[in-house]
């Protein structure tokens, strides 16, 4: 591909290089941009790149193993997922979905993505793995509310990531945090439609790494299934979740605003319904306000074997639009200060 050859030349430049995709619509096959490179690379996209409908590989576009990457522009990465949304999984459709995220950022140090749009990914829009000092800002994700497994940004085993001034509307979690994530800041993000902002699920697989230092601030959730959530599987693998902070969150017609679910068992896939082995500690929910559709405004179901500890709730004001709101808490005794509406816990 011309794009691959251009990347190879740019990567070899000791002074760095900028690759520009101008305005227009272009079909783009599966491609991996792999380092290390001799200088910094800017990938500027002002046009629309369209994914193939029946590709090989486990992702569409992968950036892997180098330092000083910038992905900028006003362009769109169109995963062409609308071709498969809602269809039965015939053999042909299964082949279509062998491609996964629109993007993978693997083992990038000092990276920045700004201004671009991810549209209709066939699975996750962005998958971040093994990155250090990565900033995603002024990013837009758009996919239908019923598009399956289309998390906006999924992160794991990375350190020092910021997600800022971003709008995400999709069919799954707007932001999902996997194991090994440390020092993540999420600020000024608007989420909806989608399943909210989630830590986990955790405790499903052996060898998972702890999650700590997650800060979610000044975010707005509109017509989402969940608001802010921590979830772990029952009675499978151990892990630790600590220093998780949700502050200044606005809720607009959210089904389930605040959730800690340590009995997470989608599609009854759990090996056992015993107590979760994941420990959750040092968690705060502060200045969370707005409206919910379902009565359970706050549901915290912590592990009976490892109750949640050092949980703080401050200035919570959530009103249910369909009746009285309620808070239900199990195996946790949060410290409550300021307003607490609904009362409980």
Catalytic residue among 125, 154, 195, 306: 195
Angstrom distance (rounded) from CA 127 to CA 288: 28
Angstrom distance (rounded) from CA 301 to CA 155: 24
Angstrom distance (rounded) from CA 120 to CA 243: 33
Q: Is 125 a catalytic residue?
A: no
Residue 267 burial (C-beta neighbours within 10 Å; 0-12, 13-18, 19+): exposed
Query: What count of other Cβ atoms lies within 10 Å of the Cβ of residue 25?
Result: 11
DSSP bridge partners of 272: none
Cβ-proximal residues to 253 (8 Å cutoff; 6+ apart), any chain:
222, 223, 291, 292, 293, 321
Angstrom distance (rounded) from CA 184 to CA 215: 6
DSSP secondary structure letter of residue 149: T
Please list, residue by residue across 313-345, b when 16 or more beta carbons sit within 10 angstroms of its beta carbon and e when fewer do.
Answer: bbbbbbebeeeebebebbbbebebeeebebeeb
For residue 342, cis peptide bond before it (omega within 30 degrees of 0): yes
Q: Which residues are catalytic?
A: 195
């Amino acid at each position: 591909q011309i794009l691959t050859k251009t990347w190879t030349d740019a990567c070899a430049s000791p002074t760095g290089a900028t690759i520009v995709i101008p305005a227009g619509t272009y079909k783009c096959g599966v491609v991996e941009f792999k380092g290390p490179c001799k200088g910094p690379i800017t990938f500027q996209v002002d046009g629309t790149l369209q994914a193939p409908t029946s590709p090989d590989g486990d992702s569409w576009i992968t950036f892997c193993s180098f330092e000083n990457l910038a992905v900028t522009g006003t362009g769109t990465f169109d995963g062409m997922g609308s071709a498969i949304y809602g269809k039965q999984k015939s053999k042909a459709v299964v082949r279509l979905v062998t491609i996964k995220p629109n993007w993978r950022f693997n083992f990038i140090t000092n990276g920045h993505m700004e201004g671009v749009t991810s549209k209709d990914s066939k699975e996750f829009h962005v998958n971040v793995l093994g990155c250090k000092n990565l900033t995603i800002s002024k990013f837009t994700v758009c996919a239908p509310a019923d598009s399956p497994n289309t998390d906006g940004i999924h992160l794991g085993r990375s350190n020092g990531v910021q997600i800022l001034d971003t709008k995400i509307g999709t069919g799954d979690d707007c932001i999902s945090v996997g194991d090994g994530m440390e020092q993540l800041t999420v600020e000024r993000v608007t989420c909806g439609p989608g399943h909210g902002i989630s830590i986990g699920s955790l405790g499903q697989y052996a060898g998972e790494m702890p999650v700590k230092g997650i800060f979610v601030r000044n975010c707005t959730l509109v017509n989402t299934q969940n608001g802010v959530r921590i979830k772990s599987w029952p009675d499978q693998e151990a892990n630790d979740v600590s220093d998780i902070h949700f502050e200044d969150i606005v809720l607009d017609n959210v089904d389930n605003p605040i959730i800690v679910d340590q009995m997470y068992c989608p599609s009854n896939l759990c090996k056992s319904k015993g107590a979760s082995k994941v420990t959750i500690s040092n968690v705060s929910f502060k200045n969370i306000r707005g409206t919910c559709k379902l009565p359970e405004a706050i549901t915290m179901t912590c592990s009976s074997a490892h109750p949640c500890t050092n949980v703080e709730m401050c200035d919570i004001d959530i009103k249910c639009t369909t009746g009285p709101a309620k808070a239900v808490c199990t195996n946790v005794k949060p410290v409550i200060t300021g307003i607490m509406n609904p009362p409980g816990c």
